Amino acid sequence: MNSGLVVEYIRYRIGEDRRVGFEEAYAAASAVLARSPHCVEYDLARSVDEPACHILRITWTSAADHLHGFRTGEPARGRGASVPSLYEWAGGAPALERLTEAFYAKVRRDALIGPLFAHMNLSHPRYVAMWLSEVFGGPDRYTRERGGYAHTLGQHVGKAITEAQRWGVAPPYLG
């Protein structure tokens, strides 16, 4: 079975005489969905053009998690019932380190912003990768080892960054 996220759509046609009961039943069902490790998100929308029509959208961690795990209450086989973090989707620390190394290699050669990084610490790309890892749901190494957000702010104060450097071009409001 598919091991990726699965989106399920269910269309309901509910008469006005049953709408309140339907919405109450949905509220009870949504509590079950909220507790399920197999459900990523869900939403019930009522059509503006056809008020009797409701669309329920449920995103499941996988088809197996929905069909086996959620319906039977047992853990599904395979990937499990957890949604990968952005950190995991990106490939973890090694991938983010490769990304930041490649990015800063280009930045250093850029005529506009390259001068800002002319004397950059050679470990800067690795530190940015640590920060991205934490922001994307990975380990909190940047906070523990580098001081977190307060440290980041301190590193960027007083750099005399021009508006063109900040925006990559002159910002629209400077015309």
pLDDT of 164 reads 85
Last residue of a domain, one of 20, 49, 72: 72
Same-domain status, 99 and 168: yes
Cβ atoms of 104 and 127 within 8 Å: the answer is no
CATH number of domain containing 28:
3.30.70.100
CATH number of domain containing 121:
1.10.490.10
pLDDT of 118 reads 87
Cβ atoms of 33 and 70 within 8 Å: the answer is no
- Positions of the chain with pLDDT under 50: 1-2, 76-81, 175
Cβ atoms of 131 and 142 within 8 Å: the answer is yes
77 in any annotated domain: no
Cβ atoms of 90 and 135 within 8 Å: the answer is no
Q: What is the pLDDT of residues 50-93, one digit of tens each?
A: 989 999 999 988 888 888 777 776 654 444 445 677 888 889 99
CB burial readout 62-75, b (16+ within 10 A) else e:
bbbbbebbbeeeee
Task: Give pTM, 2 decimals.
Answer: 0.53
For the CA atoms of the chain, what is the radius of gyration?
Answer: 24
pLDDT of 37 reads 84
CA separation, residue 99 to residues 103, 111, 132, 142, 165 (Å): 6, 21, 10, 17, 21
pLDDT of 64 reads 83
Same-domain status, 157 and 100: yes
